[in-house]
Structure 1
């Protein structure tokens, strides 16, 4: 069994996938395997995966099932449920990993194990470099660019209201996998679901060092946008959809809808006041 398992869900990712996989193969830490589930691609994504699997036997495992297109969140949930390594990471198909990403994140998790115990659910996440399609730098810190406060990850109620954990930077231990139930059919990204459950049942910590080139392009499922009052006003168009989501989350996590919305308002106000520097 490999020490680290990297979970990757792909969908029509032919444009950038080879670059991502190449950056993972070239990691300074070598005891890993990439487990890939394709979510019904109609381009050459599957061909690229097969080619890497042939070139690097033992490094790429393809998860085969009959579920078809689940969507990104449920696809990652399926991958996590089928994972088996002591430490688990997540990859997005259009990013580029810094060469020491696994190494420094694994060191952080082991520091957390020394502090909290190896039987505790643990999650470590990091900052990101925000880059354009051609990898030219947009911002040296995703957290500053988005005015995010990593301290929010210490309180599960806060992170329910405002997620600050970016999945493609995350490493968890197997205990974190065990406290995270399969994701229900919710209109939210998978890293948010994961972060809430680990914060509620274990511990989250972070590294301010960017470990990934977070590529921005027109096809991003989620992306990085400058946060200001106009951004917040623009989010109002999603109010009905968010209301439905928060009603479901309030039932799942036994927290009042009023508490969620008050926290959301307070945290957004603090976010706008936080300096983007």
Structure 2
């Protein structure tokens, strides 16, 4: 059920000689404004250095109806003490702390996504070391509310890149091609730390289950929502400060060093392995794909088993693509070498 806060607002007009006067009591409770609840799904592990800054950025959100569900994956530093401090500082019901599965960050996020005790209108993934802009949740909720509740919906955005000391060093790439399932099969355009989704999207993720050997939780969400006929909005406005530091499990991939690393991984067969994992996971939701996307999926899966010329023809028919020219050149190379 919707988890709304009810906010009172007066709508009384100023008195005029021709109108009766109103008392203050008459002016209250006239309008009730609904504010959707957002469950922030926060995963932590050895996060003591930056966690407090992230928690503080939740406090100043312009969207006020939120609660945090933290899942810690076995930290031995002061992460637990920091979370306990915020539990004491914040009102009861603002922060819940859980024990993670200790199987890596993707498994931790999926365990929170599928946790049946969490009920809200929308769900926002959060890393432990970023800093949210004050309007992050507001921008996401405003778009999500424009769609019917039964349509799976995913909001994501660009990020502002900062160094370990929160000094700005750039922004993430601006993708111009439309989000789609054909794109999602090849890459993820939105970082999980920017993602906010609705219950229709969460229902699909819960149906697939938390025990999925997917590459990353955020890529999986992009695949599922687009594949099952949902809507994705990629916001060109950065909504958080994405900290780049030596402890990043996944950092920005827009530098030339990151591009060269991806090409090395391509030749090593990593991209092919990722596709193996995503295809196996998607089999469990194949019946939920739209007819067009099911055909794309089957075409892509079959192409990977074919010899060179039939493979290239079948991949062309599938319509898969990446967001950039260099990315698509890499995709062609992968297809030719059988590394897809």
CA shift at 1:39, angstroms? 0.6
CA shift at 1:211, angstroms? 0.8
Which of 139, 142, 162 pairs up with 2:172? 142
Alpha carbons 2:157, 2:235 under 8 Å: kept = yes
Matched position secondary structure for 2:61: coil
Q: TM-score, normalised by structure 2?
A: 0.70
Superposed, which structure 2 residues align to 1:74-223 within 5 Å?
74-82=107-115, 83-111=118-146, 113=147, 117-139=148-170, 141-144=171-174, 149=175, 151-153=177-179, 155-180=180-205, 181-186=208-213, 188-201=215-228, 202-223=230-251
CA shift at 1:131, angstroms? 0.8
Tell me, in whole angstroms, the C-alpha distance in 1 between the residues paired with 2:50 and 2:218. 21
Which of 67, 70, 77 pairs up with 1:33? 67
- CA distance 1:31–1:174, change in 2 (3 Å): same
CA shift at 1:103, angstroms? 1.1
Q: TM-score, normalised by structure 1?
A: 0.85
CA shift at 1:150, angstroms? 5.2
Alpha carbons 1:127, 1:143 under 8 Å: kept = yes
- CA distance 1:251–1:59, change in 2 (3 Å): closer
- CA distance 1:235–1:173, change in 2 (3 Å): same
> What residue is the counterpart of 1:20 in the other structure?
54
CA shift at 1:104, angstroms? 1.6
CA shift at 1:272, angstroms? 5.7
Tell me, in whole angstroms, the C-alpha distance in 2 between the residues paired with 1:174 and 1:18. 29
Tell me, in whole angstroms, the C-alpha distance in 2 between the residues paired with 1:103 and 1:265. 33
Matched position secondary structure for 2:269: helix
Tell me, in whole angstroms, the C-alpha distance in 2 between the residues paired with 1:236 and 1:172. 32
The answer for unaligned runs of 5 or more in structure 1 is none
More helix by share: 1
Alpha carbons 1:7, 1:80 under 8 Å: kept = yes
Alpha carbons 2:190, 2:218 under 8 Å: kept = yes
Alpha carbons 1:152, 1:164 under 8 Å: kept = no
Aligned alpha-carbon RMSD (Å): 2.6
**Which of structures 1 and 2 has the larger relative contact order (alpha carbons within 8 angstroms, sep 6+)?**
1
Larger Rg: 2
